[in-house]
Amino acid sequence: MLKFFNIQRKDYKTMKKLLLFLLTFILVACNADIEPTIETNIDNTEIISERNIFQELLETANENWEFSNNAFLSIEDFSYDIDFLLQMLEENFPFIGVSERMKNNSNLWNDFSEDLSTNLELLYPLDSTNFEHFLVYKIFQYFNLAHLSVNPPHSSGTASTSQLYEPLSFSPSIIEENKIALIPIPPQYFEDTFDRIVTQREMQDFISKVQMYEHIILDFRNLPGGVLDHVLGTFISPNISEPLVLREFAFITGGSLAMATYEHARRVTSRHNTFIRNVVGNEIVSATEFAQYHNLININEKDLENLAYGFILETFVANSNTSLRLPFLSENIWVLINSEMYSAAAIFSQLSKEAGFILVGDTTGNHNSWGRAFFQLPKTGHTISMDTFYITDSTGRNIEEFPTEPHYFNRPEMDTLETVLAIIAEQQ
């Protein structure tokens, strides 16, 4: 076909890149017209949505990859991809030591490397699909943190979790008339789906009835995460008088992918309707100097040896009070949390604590880092996604290893809701 049109292969690839560039430009231009503006002090910064950032990185990863038929993939090809995966993780993934401590296995990296190499030969049939399942299982077994995952070739990496759940059922309740209301948050509320839009209306209807109650209880337990924007817009933005600004301390390794991800985040602000997240400043310093300057006394010394640079991250949540996003007039907003909350749900817990909400339950789950990066396995074309920013709290503890703790842990022989109601009764 290329010969028929007298187009050289390199010219064809150039045309393909040009078309992808034009398509990305059109999509970004269209999105820029419909998103509301959040005022910030960030100057000279390109602003596009985080979803477009992910898509751009994936397109870059897939750009020069040509599909190979599984019939022509040998065991050497799969072994090559495993070696490439191990090299990329060792150079760019800053959470190996964190996972060793969380799994209580100081030899975890060696075990993981040997496990992949040894058990690859046991796969039957040895094809791309089984290889993908094999990697998914092993990565979950050894590194269930920091959004480390495997996606099929040409995948967007952003599949909706709403497909995992039954049709949406929003069931708020009034525990005590004019006094205590309970709002359970359905998983779909973190998704860009029609169910979420419908629930938004039902949520606002219920909030309008109970917004003057003395106690509002928000149940976020067992939520896997998803899109943070809608949840912040409903529960935090209307209930803060001033913008909420969260500053965090972040590190990266010196790997080429980690460095490229930092450069991308430095020039591109992650912008949403209700919040933005950005790298502060244009300079990074050595990890050791950064930790000393900011007095991060609890940072793990072994982790620090593998980190190259440090910088500040800032999350800015806008305050709003519109007829579509009703505030709670109560000063007592309780949030039920547990260890089965991940990603955006875990980040919401952290931000709601900063906003003055009262957290009750158990320490949240992880997958709450940032700096998402993608790379592609050369032979099979599978895309690996992972976080590359090692983020700490104000003392230096990594937030994957030490996620958000509640103000009140569950009382003995009480579940979280019973604990809240007991605290409320005692306060009165």
Q: Which domains does the chain have, with CATH numbers?
A: 169-372+388-427 (3.90.226.10)
Q: Is the pLDDT of residue 31 over 80?
A: no
pLDDT at 277: 86
Instruction: Give me the pLDDT at residue 335, please.
Output: 97
- Mean pLDDT for 295-324 is 89
DSSP notation for 166-207: PSP----EEEETTTEEEEEPPGGGGSSSHHHHHHHHHHHHHH
Cross-strand bridge partners of residue 184: 219
Looking at every residue in the chain, the average pLDDT score rounds to: 82
Q: What was the pLDDT predicted at 201?
A: 81
- Per-residue pLDDT band for 402 (boundaries 50, 70, 90) equals very high
For residue 317, the surrounding DSSP H or E stretch is: strand 309-317
pLDDT at site 202: 85
| pLDDT recorded at residue 325 | 62
pLDDT bucket at 126, cuts 50 / 70 / 90: confident
Reported as a single tens digit per residue, the pLDDT across 167-225 is 456 789 999 999 999 999 988 777 766 566 667 788 888 999 998 999 999 999 999 88
Q: 11 versus 273: which is more confidently predicted? A: 273
Single-letter amino acid code for the residue at 160:
S
Does residue 65 carry a pLDDT above 50?
A: no
Q: What is the pLDDT confidence band of residue 330, given thresholds at 50, 70 and 90?
A: confident
Q: pLDDT tens digit string along 251-270?
A: 999 999 999 999 999 888 76
d(CA 80, CA 73): 11
pLDDT band of 27, cuts 50, 70, 90: very low
Least confident of 6-20, 325-339, 363-377, 409-423: 6-20
Rounded-to-integer distance, Cα 15 and Cα 28, Å: 20
Residue 48 region by backbone torsions, left for phi larger than 0, else alpha for psi between -120 and 50, else beta: beta
Quick one: CA dihedral 185, 187, 192, 193, positive or negative?
negative
pTM for the complete prediction? 0.80
pLDDT of residue 61: 45
Please give the Cα distance from 136 to 27 (Å, whole number): 32
What distance in Å separates the CA atoms of residue 348 and residue 158, rounded to the nearest whole number? Answer: 19
